[in-house]
Amino acid sequence: MKSKSRIEKYKRYGLSKEEYTKLITINDGRCHICNIPSKTYIDHCHKSNKVRGILCPKCNTALGFFDDNITILLTAINYLKKNS
């Protein structure tokens, strides 16, 4: 059983229960990046607090480690292309 704090975490981001449920159902409960079904996290911009979508723990953490920096993410993509 999920704890009340986990279920109502969406309120921290100004979402209603209906908006949160819609975010989860948009991608059938799958991460919006890797498309793997997983425990869900609400992804949001740390500057504006705008909710972007639902992510799995790995993808959510990865964006955080890259500081949501598109340039660094593109550099990482290029690195992987060259070295895979």
Residue 13 has pLDDT above 80, yes or no: yes
pLDDT at 54: 94
pLDDT at 9: 79
Mean pLDDT, the chain, rounded, equals 89
Residue 65 has pLDDT above 90, yes or no: yes
Residue 64 has pLDDT above 60, yes or no: yes
Domains belonging to the chain, first-starting first, are 4-82 (3.40.1800.10)
Residue 60 has pLDDT above 50, yes or no: yes
Q: Tell me the whole-structure pTM to 2 decimals.
A: 0.80
Residue 69 parent element (H or E): none
pLDDT at 77: 96
